Structures are given as structure tokens and as C-alpha cells.
Amino acid sequence: MHEMTLVQSLLDMAEEELVRRDCKRLLLARVEYGALVGVMPEALHCCFEILTRGTVHENARLELVRLPLRLRCPFCGVSFGEEVQDVLNIPCPVCGEFFGHIVEQGKEMILSRLEAS
Ligand SMILES: [Zn+2]
């Protein structure tokens, strides 16, 4: 399962960080993910709960922040997309070019904050 693997690697990353900072128990993990990553927030929460249950991290909180998709037009260089729902299907707002837009933000998955004790 895709989500299980993702959450496991996030927990591994968190664990490493905890060790580095001499902490034992994870309290909160904030994960920012791009709109194109294609994960289901409910599934991530569910996997997080399963993987932390019965461990020292039980009852830690997973906070998910969805990053809006941002594209850049390769022809005129403008960035756009933040406020648009169906950004993949719109032309460049400046030059009108439909194709070749580069994804500037949308495919990332970042562990942006950890709280631990
Ligand atoms: Zn353009």
C-alpha cells in the first residue's frame, strides 16, 4: 500500500531526527504535500495511527498541509496556479500558451515540523 510506505518513511525520518535531538516520543509531525502527490489524507491518518499504535509514539498527531499546485510557463516565465482548481487544464494567464508548463510545486512531500519529548 502506497500510503503505508510513505508514512513508514516519514516515521523513519522523524525517528532519526528524534535520536539526533535526544528525544524519545513523537508528539506531532507536520507533513506538507503537493497537490500532485496523489495521497488520501484519511489514508495517511489511518496508516499513521496503525504504525504508531503500541509504540512510544502512540497518540502522536499527524498534521497534513496540502500545498497548492504551482506551474511555470516556459515561454514567458510567469508562475501561476495558486488559486485555480483545475490548473492543469488552463492556458498561461499571460501569454496564453497551453502546453509545456513546468510544475514548480506539487510533487513534494516535506516533513516540515516535529514536536517531541
Ligand atoms: Zn506564458
DSSP letters, the chain, are: -HHHHHHHHHHHHHHHHHHHTT---EEEEEEEEETTS---HHHHHHHHHHHHTTSTTTT-EEEEEEEPPEEE-TTT--EE-TT-TTGGGS--TTT---S--EEEESS-EEEEEEEE-
Condensed to tens digits (0 to 9), the pLDDT of residues 33-54 reads: 998 888 899 999 999 999 999 9
Phi, psi of 108 (to 5 degrees): -90, 160
On whether residue 91 sits in a domain, the answer given is no
Output the pLDDT for position 65.
Answer: 95
On whether residue 51 sits in a domain, the answer given is yes
On whether residue 7 sits in a domain, the answer given is yes
Domain membership of residue 18 as a residue range: 2-68+105-116
On whether residue 13 sits in a domain, the answer given is yes
On whether residue 87 sits in a domain, the answer given is no
Distance 97 CA to ligand 1 centre (A): 6
Distance 42 CA to ligand 1 centre (A): 36
Of 50, 85, 49, 53, which Cα lies nearest the Cα of 69?
85
On whether residue 56 sits in a domain, the answer given is yes
Distance 49 CA to ligand 1 centre (A): 44
Average pLDDT, the chain: 92
Distance 105 CA to ligand 1 centre (A): 17
Distance 98 CA to ligand 1 centre (A): 8
Number of structural domains, the chain?
Answer: 1
CATH of the domain at 40: 3.30.2320.50
On whether residue 62 sits in a domain, the answer given is yes
Q: What is the mean pLDDT of residues 61-90?
A: 88
Q: What is the mean pLDDT of residues 9-31?
A: 96
Distance 2 CA to ligand 1 centre (A): 35
Q: Residue 17 above 90 pLDDT? A: yes
